[in-house]
């Protein structure tokens, strides 16, 4: 009887640990996108990075999830909501759609000048955005934020967008088609949804986004891309994937800093010259984007690259639309070649590059912010032992 009871508790403890999402056990492995078509292992020459036609990715699947507003705010959608610069595939409806053989609209995937890098953040704003910007401002660096207007129903997030714009960072738009499937909607419905998102951002910064990045889905949606193009929007891709959805360490071999260093090394080793990059991070608290900011900038400095806004990256003095419904492009005081345009970054102070150590309680190692979850998991293992000792 005693043996059966012991076996029961041990099995129960192991089962709980295996199903606990806060522990490493039972956690599904993230899909490695390091060899994606626009990833750091496939770097084209700098002169071929801009205004090129993007080809559909073949045989490269990436994770996808269905995020909601509350999920985003509470940071529970996480990495399964892996994003990309394309939208979902669709089936034709009775309306006239772009032909499957029609050339895709061009996507911006690199800067016009070697040695420049436009650091971009997609899918925000979130609870991490203001902290990301604070770290960028500490280095006097400018970045590019592609905001999802779906999150701007809260005053706090709306104020974050305004503050970022007024601080001289670049504002673009992330667009996610409803239900991640454009076949459910007519062209007019999609068109109005896109313009509605752009109008929301326009009300906050008094100009409309011109540059758009599409939410990731497994296959490119040529129909949505064509509608965006017809409305005067310009699609933005990337050629440096920070992999912040799987690289969460601040420094070391499993860090975003290392991805940047390896990318720059590969570029120099292969072409004996600096490249030009548009990098992608995800403005979601549970990616590694926030903790990586000073370490990423340090890697960019060491590589000899200059951080630029997207308009500086593309030499575009009119990087916004006059209004969401307009096809007239305009600039503002922060735009390329304007009075308050800024590029470049300062050196990172050594104290900003200190990695927070992990605690060791003598029996197992846990991060400070995981103390509660770790204690519960440890208790599951200890409690059967305590119970058994009461029999002796």
pLDDT in tens, 79-120: 333 333 333 333 333 343 444 456 889 999 999 999 999 999
> Are 228 and 274 in the same domain?
yes
pLDDT digits (tens, 9 = 90+) for 220-239: 999 999 999 999 999 999 99
Mean pLDDT of the chain: 76
Beta-ladder partners of 116: 306
175-179, 193-197, 360-364: which is most confident: 193-197
- Report the C-alpha gap between 101 and 366 in whole angstroms: 53
Identify the pLDDT of residue 103.
Answer: 80
Identify the pLDDT of residue 59.
Answer: 32
Residue 64 falls within a domain, yes or no?
yes
Integer angstrom CA distances of residue 121 from 125, 179, 223, 234, 279: 9, 22, 25, 17, 8
> Are 293 and 192 in the same domain?
yes
Identify the pLDDT of residue 284.
Answer: 94
For range 25-54, the mean pLDDT: 34
With a cut of 60, say whether residue 181 has pLDDT above it.
Answer: yes
> Are 147 and 63 in the same domain?
yes
Identify the pLDDT of residue 207.
Answer: 98
Residue 361 falls within a domain, yes or no?
no
Domain that holds residue 73: 31-355
Pick left, alpha or beta for residue 194 (phi over 0 → left; psi -120 to 50 → alpha; otherwise beta).
alpha
What CATH number has the domain bearing residue 51?
Answer: 3.20.20.370
> Are 126 and 183 in the same domain?
yes
Identify the pLDDT of residue 10.
Answer: 37
Helices assigned H by DSSP within the chain: 2-19, 69-73, 129-138, 155-166, 187-205, 222-230, 256-271, 289-303, 310-313, 371-389
> Are 22 and 50 in the same domain?
no
Query: Does this model's pTM top 0.85?
Result: no
Helix, strand, coil percentages (3-state) for the chain, rounded to 5, are 40, 15, 50
For range 199-203, the mean pLDDT: 98
> Are 17 and 130 in the same domain?
no
> Are 21 and 146 in the same domain?
no
Query: Structural domain tally of the chain?
Result: 2
Question: Whats the size of the chain, residue-wise?
Answer: 392
- Structure-block tokens of residue 214: 């599409």
pLDDT > 70 fraction of the chain, expressed in percent and rounded:
65
> Are 280 and 377 in the same domain?
no
Using alpha carbons only, what angle is made at residue 170 by residues 234 and 241, rounded to the nearest 5 degrees?
A: 70
Residue 262 falls within a domain, yes or no?
yes
For range 39-66, the mean pLDDT: 35
Comparing 373 with 103, the larger pLDDT belongs to 103
Burial of 352 per CB tally in 10 Å (0-12, 13-18, 19+): middle
3-state secondary structure of 6: helix
> Are 23 and 99 in the same domain?
no
Identify the pLDDT of residue 291.
Answer: 96
> Are 373 and 254 in the same domain?
no
Identify the pLDDT of residue 92.
Answer: 34
Residue 135 falls within a domain, yes or no?
yes
Give residue 355's pLDDT band: very low, low, confident or very high (50, 70, 90): confident
For range 370-387, the mean pLDDT: 38
- Report the C-alpha gap between 129 and 131 in whole angstroms: 5
Residue 360 falls within a domain, yes or no?
no
With a cut of 70, say whether residue 382 has pLDDT above it.
Answer: no
Identify the pLDDT of residue 102.
Answer: 64
For range 346-359, the mean pLDDT: 82
3-state secondary structure of 359: strand
95-104, 136-145, 351-360: which is most confident: 136-145
Burial of 313 per CB tally in 10 Å (0-12, 13-18, 19+): buried
For range 252-266, the mean pLDDT: 96
- Structure-block tokens of residue 74: 């509470």
> Are 24 and 141 in the same domain?
no
Report the run of H or E that residue 121 belongs to, with start and end.
strand 116-124
> Are 389 and 252 in the same domain?
no
Contact criterion met (CB below 8 Å) for 364 and 374: yes
């Amino acid at each position: 009887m005693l043996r059966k009871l012991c076996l029961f508790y041990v099995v129960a403890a192991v089962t709980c640990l295996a199903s606990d999402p806060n522990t490493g056990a039972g956690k599904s492995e993230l899909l490695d996108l390091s060899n994606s078509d626009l990833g750091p292992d496939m770097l084209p020459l700098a002169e071929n990075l801009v205004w090129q036609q993007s080809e559909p990715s073949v045989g490269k699947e990436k994770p996808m999830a269905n995020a909601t507003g509350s999920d985003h705010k509470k940071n529970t959608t996480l990495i399964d909501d892996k994003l990309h610069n394309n939208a979902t595939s669709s089936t034709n409806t009775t309306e006239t759609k772009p032909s499957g053989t029609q050339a895709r609209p061009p996507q911006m995937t690199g800067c016009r000048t070697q040695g420049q890098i436009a650091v971009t953040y997609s899918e925000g704003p979130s609870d991490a955005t203001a902290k990301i910007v604070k770290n960028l401002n500490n280095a006097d660096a400018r970045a590019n934020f592609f905001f999802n207007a779906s999150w701007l129903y809260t005053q706090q997030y709306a104020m974050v967008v305004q503050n970022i714009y007024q601080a001289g960072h670049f504002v673009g738009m992330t667009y996610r088609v409803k239900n991640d499937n454009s076949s459910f909607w007519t062209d007019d419905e999609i068109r109005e949804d896109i313009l509605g998102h752009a109008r929301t951002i326009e009300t906050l910064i008094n100009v409309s986004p011109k540059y758009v990045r599409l939410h990731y889905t497994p296959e490119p949606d040529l129909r949505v891309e064509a509608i965006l193009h017809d409305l005067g929007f310009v699609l933005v891709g990337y050629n440096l994937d920070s992999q912040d959805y799987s690289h969460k360490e601040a420094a070391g071999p499993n860090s975003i800093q290392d991805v940047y260093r390896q990318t720059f090394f590969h570029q120099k080793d292969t072409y004996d010259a600096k490249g030009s990059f548009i990098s992608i991070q995800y403005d979601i608290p549970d990616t590694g984007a926030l903790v990586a900011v000073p370490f990423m900038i340090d890697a960019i400095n060491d590589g000899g690259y200059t951080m630029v806004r997207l308009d500086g990256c593309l030499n575009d003095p009119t990087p916004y639309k006059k209004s969401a419904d307009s096809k007239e492009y305009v600039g503002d005081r922060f735009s390329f070649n304007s009075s308050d345009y800024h590029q470049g970054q300062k050196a990172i102070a050594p104290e900003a590059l200190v990695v927070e150590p992990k605690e060791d309680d003598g029996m197992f190692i846990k991060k400070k912010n995981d103390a509660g979850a770790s204690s519960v998991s440890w208790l599951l293992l200890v409690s059967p032992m305590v119970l058994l000792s009461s029999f002796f």
